Amino acid sequence: MPIIMPTFPEQNVGANLNAPMAKVILSELRTALKQIKNNQNLTETIISPLKGGTFTEKYAHFIVIDCSGPQINIGKFSQFVGKRILYELHKLIKKSSKLANRVDFLHIYPTEASTERHYDELNRLNVVKKWLVGIKLFEALDNGGSEFKSALKEMLKSFDIRIKKDFNRFLFYSVKLTSEYVEANDLAAWGIDQEI
């Protein structure tokens, strides 16, 4: 079954369709249907949903995942993290009653959101790759969402530990994983391009 998503050809495969991705697709279809129903201009009605929008405009809440380490190890580590992000996050959210009742679905940006290179104190080239995950909530956060945010931060700590432990199972790699909750207006501070 082909999935028509022109922006990200790497996702145009039925094998990538799982329960979390199905929720993302259904959400996009519902948004497009609302636009079609509310628009009188036929040309604009058809073209507008196909244009979509930027990933960062679709969500108000995000998780930024930093993978960092020496250039020689970061490729494998970033791939490992990329394959496990949604599975592990969904599993951990389902375990938390504070999060399971709030989070509708997660949507991962299909490629690394940014890559930075810098030298550490030993003059080794370190690379930081960032993954971006959009969070769709059932309803808006009340009272600033402090309970939700603290539960999410705790869950992200266990996510980091679990992923790094699984990656380092047999060998020691000098890699680092940091996951943080970020609101849409703070993405620029994390080096995430607002136009993705």
Residue 90 within any structural domain of the chain: yes
Domain shared by 117 and 156, yes or no:
yes
pLDDT means per 10 residues in the chain (196 residues)?
Answer: 51 60 79 76 67 81 87 82 86 87 86 67 70 89 84 92 84 80 84 76
Residue 193 within any structural domain of the chain: no
Range of the domain at 111: 56-185
| Total domains present in the chain | 2
Nearest-angstrom CA–CA distance, 68 and 123:
15
Nearest-angstrom CA–CA distance, 73 and 20:
29
Domain shared by 43 and 72, yes or no:
no
Question: What are the angstrom distances between the C-alpha of 65 and each of 60, 114, 154, 190?
Answer: 16, 11, 14, 10
Question: What are the angstrom distances between the C-alpha of 124 and each of 83, 116, 180, 192?
Answer: 27, 14, 25, 24
What pLDDT is stored for residue 177 in this prediction?
Answer: 85
Token representation of residue 26 = 């259904």
Instruction: Compute CA 128 distance to the chain's CA centroid, rounded to the nearest angstrom.
Output: 16
Residue 41 within any structural domain of the chain: yes
Q: Please tell me whether the overall predicted TM-score, pTM, comes out greater than 0.85 for this model.
A: no
Identify residue 147 by its one-letter amino acid code: E
Domain shared by 83 and 101, yes or no:
yes
Residue 144 within any structural domain of the chain: yes
Residue 129 and residue 191 in contact, taking contact as beta carbons nearer than 8 Å:
no
Domain shared by 60 and 132, yes or no:
yes
